[in-house]
Amino acid sequence: MKLADNEKQALEALRKVLFDRYPVIDFRLFGSKARDEDRHDSDLDVMIEIPKYDQAMVAEIDDIIFQLNIEHDVFISALYFGKDELEEGPLSEAPIYKIIQREGIPL
């Protein structure tokens, strides 16, 4: 995984905020950046797992990501999973979740 300095700084800032303010269970980078198949215009795909999918929490985190994108000149794109949905619903079998679990890099 080769990240530019601004990308590293943005992900570190996001990680700090997430784990300081929210009950985050898992935070991973996935996609082209994680596979070292990125191009200069590739985004930073991240997966954020929280205990229960909460629209208000997700909206707050999205606002934080928006600010970090501007501050660090990056494009972080977040995908959210609620642990409750993974344990009690079909999401644990979702292809994207399986790929993230297999290829994602914990941050």
Q: Per residue in 17-42, pLDDT tens? A: 999 999 999 999 999 999 988 887 88
Neighbours of 34 (CB within 10 A): 21
53: exposed, middle or buried (Cβ count in 10 Å: 0-12, 13-18, 19+): middle
Distance CA 26, CA 107 (A): 8
Distance CA 105, CA 36 (A): 12
Beta strands in the chain (DSSP E): 26-30, 44-50, 76-82, 105-106
Looking at domain 5-106, its CATH architecture is: 2-Layer Sandwich (3.30)
For 89, residues 6+ apart whose C-beta sits below 8 A from its C-beta are: none
The pLDDT assigned to 40 comes to: 78
Examine the pLDDT at 105 and tell me if it is beyond 90. yes
pTM for this entry: 0.91
Q: Per residue in 44-103, pLDDT tens? A: 999 999 999 999 999 999 999 999 999 999 999 999 999 988 888 778 788 998 899 999
